[in-house]
Amino acid sequence: MSTKIPSSDSHLARRLGLFDATMIVMGGIIGAGIFTNPYVVAQQVHTPLLILGAWAVGGLIALAGAFIYAELSSQSHESGGQYIYLRDALHPLVAFGYGWSLLFVIQTGGMAAVALIFANHVFELAGRQVTDFRAALLASIALALLTIINCIGVRAGSVTQNIFMILKLVAIAALVGFGLTVAGPAKSEAITTATSSSTLLHSLIAFGAALIPAQFAYGGWQTACFVAGEVREPRRNLPRGLLFGVMGVIVVYLSVNYVCVHALGAQGLAQTKTPASAVMRLALGERGGRFLSAGIAISTIGFLSQSMLTAPRVYFAMAEDGLFFQRLAWLNRARVPAFAIALQGGLAIVIALIASRFEQILNYVVSVDVVFFALTAVCVFVFRRRQRARGGTDFFRIPGHPFTTVFFIAACCVITFSVIYKEPRNSAISFGIMLAGLPAYFVWAWLRKRRALSGERAGQ
């Protein structure tokens, strides 16, 4: 017998204070991307200043986005988060496009990318040579196993997730502490890759491309809206938790990148797919590199397992609106959305095998993700206009609005333009999948109308 997914976030047994909210924000952001993405950023911009600048700007974008979602979540506690905002402020078609893209691009692509990070560090730990095919194969096996485990109801408890979070923080502290003891490359390595002939436009495009992996690593602040209803005094604690959490992550990320640039140099960083392990190897030898690889691999699996269960709430909201497969809104006997998890896992495996390269999947995911981030930010203007018409003011307000909101939207536009310019093929694939949701929406809308008419006739 099956049961529907509960629409309330009742899995949190206690009310959350400021410290809890801050930890949730930091835990939702810090995954495995920070241990890998520094080399992807360094491939786009070739000086230490620009590398650190990309991570600083990425942090400011995340901070602006966190404030936007804090305001939106303070006005709606309905399950579905971003899908609900887009549906109520813009149009159900836009919301459906987000949910469709989440399933076929954003969530599954993100899972594939994280699984590839896991695979690269496992090979690093084993001392084996990493190839794109080997990494994709191991990533697919990990995704398949985690999908099966989650479908049969074996879920990591809060204690286990806390252990994974502690492992990440220990690994980061060790990386920063020991990395500062490394002498680093000769200063003559300097800025050999920089070219005086680069135009301002090309430099801006390169910087925008560097924001893609940074934005991916900062991703997760938007999940705070799922726990807004569980935060004690949300209009006070949630904004502060978002502020302290994102600021804390900015400090952590800048520290890690400073150490990577310090130890490897800008050029060396761009050539190292596992920069964090490489830094630890320089500091402590092979044992240091393997220690960090083990910590990253373990924490990545925990992060990946936990992330598998978040998106089904969006599919549930779509199915409840009659705009998606009804089976996605049901739980199995183990009380997990097995069909939705299995569908996600299967699509993630396909992406990992087809794309196989971490950088390629980054472009595939972020190009569509930032479009819906920008559209969600537009919802703020719509909801504020409605609030003024009703005379309502009882909600959290974004500091510096409209400038903060416009900055976030503009940043999303820059990232979108950069990824389209740098990776037109990957962008075309992801946007093509997103646009394929248009006819799908009208099919489901027609079926919903047909079911409604049948229900009316049956009731007469």
Q: Which residues contact 344 (CB under 8 A, 6 or more apart)?
A: 103, 107, 108, 111, 147, 308, 311, 312
pLDDT band at 191 (very low <50, low <70, confident <90, very high): very low
Q: What is the pTM of this model?
A: 0.82
What mean pLDDT do residues 310-325 have?
Answer: 81
Q: What are phi and psi of 353, to 5 degrees?
A: -75, -40
Q: Supply the pLDDT for residue 402.
A: 93
From CA 266, how far away is CA 54, in angstroms rounded? Answer: 13
Q: Supply the pLDDT for residue 77.
A: 62
Q: Supply the pLDDT for residue 459.
A: 61
**150 vs 13, 57, 326, 435, CA distance in Å?**
21, 36, 20, 30
pLDDT digits (tens, 9 = 90+) for 264-301: 999 999 988 889 888 998 998 888 888 888 878 877 87
- Written in H, E and C, the secondary structure of 252-267 is HHHHHHHHHHHHHHHH
Instruction: Please check the confidence at residue 156 and state whether its pLDDT lies above 70.
Output: no
Detail the DSSP E strand segments found in 184-341: 330-331
Contact 253, 55 (CB under 8 A): yes
Choice between 110 and 241, residue whose per-residue pLDDT is larger:
110
By mean pLDDT, which of 95-99, 229-233, 270-274 is the weakest?
229-233
Q: Supply the pLDDT for residue 79.
A: 61
From CA 148, how far away is CA 305, in angstroms rounded? Answer: 11
Q: Supply the pLDDT for residue 460.
A: 60
pLDDT digits (tens, 9 = 90+) for 407-452: 999 999 988 888 888 888 888 999 999 999 999 999 999 988 887 7
